[in-house]
Every structure is written in structure tokens, then in C-alpha cells.
A and B are shown apart, each in its own frame.
Chain A
Amino acid sequence: MTPTRPSALRAEFATFFALFSRGLRSNFAYRPALLLAMLSAALSYAVPMLVWRHIYASGGGSKAVPAQALFPYLLLAGCLNFGFAMNVESRIGQRIRMGLIATDLLRPVDFQMAQLSQALSDGIANLAFVLPVFGVACAFWGKSAFPHDAAAFFAFCASVLLAFVILFAVSFIFVQATFITYSSYGVFVARNALQQTFSGMSAPLALFPAGLRAASEWLPFRHTIHTPVSIYLGWINGSAVWAALGAQLIWALGLLLVGRYMLRVSLLKFEIQGG
């Protein structure tokens, strides 16, 4: 019996959910490693925070971003950055290098969506570790670390989801280079450098030099950190929130489509490694 379209979709969704839940369990199998990564990340975020604090305390800083807004921004940006650590390059890159991608491609599921399901499980696992840290930090920063209002919080949640998909799609595009380079390390470094520079992770984009700020307008990375955090803090509000979410949606869909096309071309052009 040929399944009807809604039941086929339900079955597809059930597969992605099953992949997501197995991925989550895999992530929790490496709790100590995740905890270690979180502690290292906390340290690497704490140092710039201390530097900024020193700059502002000694009369430096910028009027465009006052101290009471900057620190919640950096805290949330750091937490999002950790939450978005989804291992796409290392996971897919390793499978391309070793030829294990062959077994993934022989499944009756969409490869890109299956990888997105697994990446989501990475994100949720990270969230379980980062939320308590964020909670403690909120207690320290007080009201200024809370969302601007309830609407901002819900818009922020939607924006985070879209930001996650954008970052996944960018990583999915970058990792295809492994078909040529056979190593995902350089690919990860390149993507990460662009992400760290243009996402607004290390500082709000308002503090960037004009040239870099202009460049960030044309790249998708600003929508991975700067846009959701700005929504959360109320820097983007009113109808501008819808415009920001719309831009994120367009980037997300566009990049996913580009990634799909590139995979198709890569599989036509390159070979699966190993005998």
C-alpha cells in the first residue's frame, strides 16, 4: 500500500525525532568531555569580560553601548556560542574522510535533515549545561540580564532556533570542502574564524569599525549571535523584530538549499573514500 502524503511526512518526522533522541543519548554518553568543554568555554568568555570591565572602569568604552548593556550582551553571546557548538564539521568531515558517509547515504532518509536532527541534539545537550551557568550569572547581573519583555523573550526563542539552523547550514556548506581537502580541521578553523569575527560574539557590532560592520551586514553570521541577543535585550524591537526574524528565515532557507545543491554536486564530482 502506498502511504498517503501526510502519513509519509509523519513517518519522516518520526525518523528525524528518533535520530534526534539517539543523538541526545550519544551526547550524554560523553558528559565529562562536555563538562570540560563548558568549563574551558566559561574561562575563555570570562577573560574578555574582565578586559572589557577594566576598559570601562578606567573611563574607556563606548557611549553607544553602556556597561550595563554590554555585560549581559557578552554573557548571553557566550552562552549562545557554547550552545551552538554542534560538531557538524568534525562529525561529517570525519565521515567523509574515512568514507563512512557511504553508510549514511545508503539510508532512506534525507542526509542534510538527518544531520540537522543530530546537530539539534548537540544543541539541546549543550543547553542542559549552559542554562545553569546562565541562571547563576543572571542572579549576579540582576534585572539587566533579563529579557526586555515577554514578547522579546518569545521572539528571542524563535530567533535562537533560526540562528541555530543558519549556523548549521553554514557549517554544512563549509564541510563539503572535505571532499577536496580530506581533512575537516582547516574547514572548521575557517568557518569558526568568520563566525567569531562577524557574529558579534566578542563585542556588539555597534563597537566594530565601520568597514567590519558593513561587511557583517552582507554575511549571515550576524544573525547567529547579534540578532538573537539584540532581540532579547530589546535593542531590536517593534516591527524591526519581524524584519530581523524574516531576514534570519531567508538566510536559513537559502543556505540550506545551497548546502543541498553542493552535496549533490560533491557526490557527482568526488569519490567516497576507501575500498
Chain B
Amino acid sequence: MTITLRTEALNKTYRRKIRKPGFVGALKGLFSGEEEAVQAVSDVTFSLARGERVGLIGENGAGKSTTLKMLTGILVPTSGKLEVLGFDPSRQRRQLASRIGVVFGQRPQLLWDIPVQETLSLLRTMYRIPASVYDVTYPQAVERLDLGPLLAVPVRKLSLGQRMRCDLAASLLHAPDIAFLDEPTIGLDVSVKEQVREFIRDMQQRFESTLLLTTHDLKDITETCDRILLLDRGKLLFDGSLREFERRFATKRRIVVELERPASDEVREQLAKDIAELGAELVECRAHRAVVVYEGDGAAPALTQRLLSRLPVSDIVLEKSDIDSMVANIYRRSTISTEKSVA
């Protein structure tokens, strides 16, 4: 297993000026040098092997973009060790740049006033892309991302979705060893997102690139990654496979029951007691629907038996939490615990 990227106790602290609100605050700010320290990334340690597909997730302000900026060399860590493809990113930024591809979803990288094709050919010269690579990556990008009609259009005339597709093509044209994609599907509609994910998968597989992707759309992760890094307030909360992530965080499961007729109050009360004995909770039992929530493996058969014996069941569905609700749950728990510790 070849390690392509390694961080050890990585830290980044920003110094931020304290600005008070209002006009008077703005005036005071001209003369006041008050600052506060913001710990954006705290003791983050992980490594990526060649060809790994990793999703970096976390709430807004969790430190994802800061981490990515340090990995690509445009931000210097406050402390800690960092090595990407054998380079120290901030000291050897130019050497590293020729071997990585970066998309910052919120920062266009194409030349604004000239047609897309011109930027792509400029990048070919800039990255010294050999014909053997360009002859593969260029047609594939044009075909998979449907760029044909856009090539002659000046970038400023493209829609957000069109520009993102072109940005992605531009960043992967040189078949980088590592692709850092910061929110590559931000603001895109469902069909374009699908197109983008498919393209990322194809390019990654073809060139065995290592992929590190940040996103708030967790479908990006489930469809393109095998491993998750979860950041929370600058700290690495989880590092493991998607399966491990589910095992650890998908603790809550649901049984949804469709009823032939509404249950009486008496039945409802009895059922609630019955399933409470099995460690579950009847969270809903109204009209033609009942929902039971439980944690842990192995409880489903006994619960299903109780439900079938007490209720006039017409249909029954067992649901696991999806990744969105798992992550939402983690964020919620983390916010509550912070509020408690502050109180």
C-alpha cells in the first residue's frame, strides 16, 4: 500500500480581528488591534493510500476547507507534519501543483473572458500534458460532461452548472495523482450532480488517482467514496469505511407499519408498554400508520411479532437510518454537548 498523503497532529489557528457592530464599532476598529484566536483545525492525523476515495465531511466551519488549503499548500499549518506525494505542500507548492488537481466549488478557475476551449488548451501547455494522457482525458471529459456545445462559449456566459462541469474537466485534464474536490456539486441540479459523480468515478478508476472530496451532499460520498473522515470543530471525529460509519452511527432503526384500520386507544397503550419492554419506542400510532424506533441488532423479529399480534397490519417496512440522518444526528449531538459544556 503506497501512502500518498500523510498528516500528523495538524493544527491551524487563525487570528481574527474583533470588530464591534455599527458605525461606532467600525470607527473603533480602525484604531483597535484586538484579536482573537480561532482554532480551525486541531490535531488532525490521517493518511491516504494511492487510489483511495475519501470523503471529508463536517458542518460549515468544521475545518474542511482549511484542511484542504493546507494539503494543497496555499495555507501554512500552525503546527504539525504534512506530506503530500513526498512534498511539503507549502514549501514545494509549485512542484506539488503539477501532480494534483483541485476544484474549489465556489471559486471559478477558468479564464473569464475567453472560450472554455482556450482555457483547456492553456492548461495543456501549463501542465505539459503528454498527448498520451490528453488524448484520453480530453475526449472523456467532453463526452462524459457533455462539454461539446460549451467549448466555444466564453466562460462569463456559462450557467453555474455548465461552469462547474468545465471547472471539473479543467482540474482533472492532467490525470492528477491526487484530486482534491471541494464541494464539486455545489449548486447543481440533480441530473448534473449525477453526471459529475459519474465522471469523477470514471477518471478516478482509469488513472487510479487518490480522491479527497468535501461536500454537504452526502450522496456525493456514498456514490464516489469508500471511506469517510468526519471533522467536527476542527477535530477528526471519525475515520473509517462507510460500513464502519453505518455500524457506529446508524444505531436507530425504524419499523413502519401500515394498518387496515386505526387502532383503539386501549390497544395503543398496551402496545406501547409491550414494545417498551423490548427497549423500543412507539413514536407514532395514528390513523392507518404506526412507527416504532429501536436501537441495536436483533430486536426486529420480536418487535415485528408483537406488532403483528396487536395490530391489524396490511404492510410492514424495516428502515435503517440513511447517511444524511446519521450525520444530522451527529451534528445535533455535538451541538447539544457543546451547549451543555458552555452552560
Q: Is B9 an interface residue (CB 8 A)?
A: no
A25-B75 contact, Cβ under 8 Å, with A11-B128, A108-B127 = no
Contacts of B69 in A (CB 8 A): 102, 272
Q: Is A29 an interface residue (CB 8 A)?
A: yes
CB distance from A274 to the nearest CB of B (A): 7
Output the nearest chain B residue to A111 by Cβ-Cβ distance.
B94
A106-B74 contact, Cβ under 8 Å, with A11-B128, A18-B125, A18-B126 = yes
Count of chain B residues with Cβ under 8 Å from any Cβ of A? 36
Partner of A108, one of B65, B118, B126: B126
CB distance from A33 to the nearest CB of B (A): 12
B113 engages A271 (CB within 8 Å): no
Output the nearest chain B residue to A99 by Cβ-Cβ distance.
B107
Q: Is B326 an interface residue (CB 8 A)?
A: no
Contacts of A275 in B (CB 8 A): 60-61, 65, 106
Q: Is A30 an interface residue (CB 8 A)?
A: yes
A272 engages B74 (CB within 8 Å): yes
Most A-side CB within 10 Å, residue of B61, B69, B72, B98: B69
CB distance from A248 to the nearest CB of B (A): 29
Contacts of B299 in A (CB 8 A): none
A268 engages B74 (CB within 8 Å): no
Count of chain A residues with Cβ under 8 Å from any Cβ of B? 28
Output the nearest chain A residue to B112 by Cβ-Cβ distance.
A26
Partner of B113, one of A30, A98, A100, A272: A30
Output the nearest chain A residue to B15 by Cβ-Cβ distance.
A271
Q: Is A143 an interface residue (CB 8 A)?
A: no
Output the nearest chain B residue to A95 by Cβ-Cβ distance.
B107
Interface contact tally, CB-CB below 8 A = 78
Contacts of B255 in A (CB 8 A): none
> Per-residue 0/1 for A219-259: is the Cβ within 8 Å of any B Cβ (1 yes, 0 no)?
00000000000000000000000000000000000000000
Partner of A109, one of B72, B75, B94, B100: B94
Contacts of A19 in B (CB 8 A): 122
Q: How far is it, in angstroms, between the C-alpha of A14 and the C-alpha of B122 when the chains are bound?
A: 10
Contacts of A274 in B (CB 8 A): 106-107
Q: Using a CB-CB cutoff of 8 Å, which residues 65-90 of chain B contact chain A?
A: 65, 69, 72-76, 90
Q: How far is it, in angstroms, between the C-alpha of A105 and the C-alpha of B104 when the chains are bound?
A: 13
Q: Is A22 an interface residue (CB 8 A)?
A: yes
Q: How far is it, in angstroms, between the C-alpha of A110 and the C-alpha of B76 when the chains are bound?
A: 18
CB distance from B324 to the nearest CB of A (A): 21
A109 engages B126 (CB within 8 Å): yes
A29 engages B113 (CB within 8 Å): yes
25 contacts between A and B (CB under 8 A): A15-B125, A18-B122, A18-B125, A22-B114, A25-B114, A26-B112, A29-B114, A100-B107, A102-B74, A103-B102, A103-B104, A103-B107, A105-B74, A106-B73, A106-B74, A106-B97, A106-B100, A108-B97, A108-B98, A108-B126, A109-B94, A267-B90, A271-B14, A272-B74, A275-B60
